[in-house]
Chain A
Amino acid sequence: NAGVTQTPKFQVLKTGQSMTLQCAQDMNHEYMSWYRQDPGMGLRLIHYSVGAGITDQGEVPNGYNVSRSTTEDFPLRLLSAAPSQTSVYFCASSYRGQGTYEQYFGPGTRLTVT
């Protein structure tokens, strides 16, 4: 199993540009999430999905869209990049086992918006 994969690893955007961060998992996990990590703050939930076709907003959803057309893929779209979206983005997947959820993280995407 490749686990949770993310592409790209690094990206620089200009303000106003759009792009999609890719996330895929090959473990057949039902739950997938996107987080952003900023200095001095804990990881914050952007969007999450409890299964194909179902998504919901997390703590900081503004400026981001997601879709979940398959179990494997959960792309995060930045519609019009802003400097405030400079961050490290982590995708994660989880499954419910033994009464709670095992969690797996992707390697992260470091995004800079100038």
Chain B
Amino acid sequence: KNEVEQSPQNLTAQEGEFITINCSYSVGISALHWLQQHPGGGIVSLFMLSSGKKKHGRLIATINIQEKHSSLHITASHPRDSAVYICAVRFLATASKLTFGTGTRLQVTL
């Protein structure tokens, strides 16, 4: 079965902390997306990965294709990073469709 699992489900951090959110998936993929959703807000695409690592500002996304695992890191976290972070993958067999994880709710406090 094509599945996507994220951990942790909820995460609270203090401002300035280094944050890691994990995503694992069951079978081969063509791409993995990290998405951000602020409370009551729309969904924004942060990264799309098929291999290696990408960086944008304080955000870093990595993927290990062999281990079927990806991580999203936030360095020097800030209260404005508080959001739900969602991992979504395109499985090889159904590449035009996205399968979503249930999301990680991050709260960054002062």
Residues of A within 8 A of B (CB): 31, 33, 35, 40-45, 48, 50, 58, 90, 94, 99-108
A58 to B48, CA, bound (A): 22
Residues of B within 8 A of A (CB): 4, 30-31, 33, 35, 41-45, 48, 50, 86, 88, 90, 95-103
A103 to B46, CA, bound (A): 10
- Structural contact, B97 and A105, CB atoms closer than 8 A: no
- A-side interface mostly: strand
Q: What are 18 A-B contacts defined by CB distance under 8 Å? A: A31-B96, A42-B86, A42-B102, A43-B98, A44-B100, A45-B98, A48-B96, A48-B97, A94-B96, A100-B30, A100-B31, A100-B90, A100-B95, A101-B90, A101-B96, A105-B35, A105-B44, A107-B41
List 8 other contacts, CB 8 Å, given A50-B96, A107-B42. Answer: A31-B96, A35-B100, A58-B97, A103-B45, A103-B48, A105-B43, A105-B45, A107-B41
Contacts of B101 in A (CB 8 A): 42
User: Could you tell me the distance in whole angstroms from the C-beta of B89 to the nearest C-beta in chain A?
Assistant: 11
Contacts of A40 in B (CB 8 A): 102
